Amino acid sequence: MAEVQAVKDTDTIKLISHLLEIRHSKQMSDIWNIGINLALRISDLLSIKFTDVEANRLTIQESKTGKTASILLNAKSEEIIQRIREEHPTHIYLFQSYRNKQAINRVAQPLSRRAVSKAFAAIGEELNIPLGTHSMRKTRGYHLYQATKDIARVMKMLRHSSEGVTLRYIGITQQEVDKDFRDLVL
């Protein structure tokens, strides 16, 4: 499996959202859009419950690290979450599996990571880019870094402990760092 990268072009980010909606479902498009805005790992993103959202803040405990993530929701995230809540008032999970309707006595479950991975990979294949569930988190980190050039800020957002790991994670290469040094003349 090829390593996925950050999506660096904003038009491609919008195209991915559009293609996910028309080729797969509105739910897949919502996962992409919320995932880009929250920069969570897919396991944490899919485990979000409506009770984890209070006012304009999401608070969850990350499954991988055990760290608490407290994220202020931007307008786009709030709008999507509110729409999903209104469309599915009985759901427990933000991205609840609709298959549970077929089994009335089953406990509600979030959409599976595998289903999301398959949809993202299919769109990546169509666009000829390595796209996966980590692409959302990497894309958010990459664009924050491009906007601020503040690696410490990106590290904090991604809850990483090493600059090197964060730079590799978001796809900043030595050539890009060299270009910044060459182009910024004071």
Task: List active site positions.
Answer: 41, 64, 134, 137, 160, 169
Interhelix angle 163-170/134-148, rounded to 10 degrees, is 110
The amino acid at residue 168 is R
> How far is 164 from 124, CA to CA, in rounded Å?
27
Beta strands in the chain (DSSP E): 53-54, 57-61, 68-72
Query: Which among 141, 144, 125, 161 has a CA at the least distance from the CA of 41?
Result: 141
Distance between the two ends of the chain, CA-based, in angstroms?
A: 43
Count of helix runs (H) and strand runs (E) in the chain: 9, 3
Burial 120-138 (b: 16+ CB within 10 A, else e): bbbbbeeeebbbbbbbbbb
> How far is 158 from 39, CA to CA, in rounded Å?
7
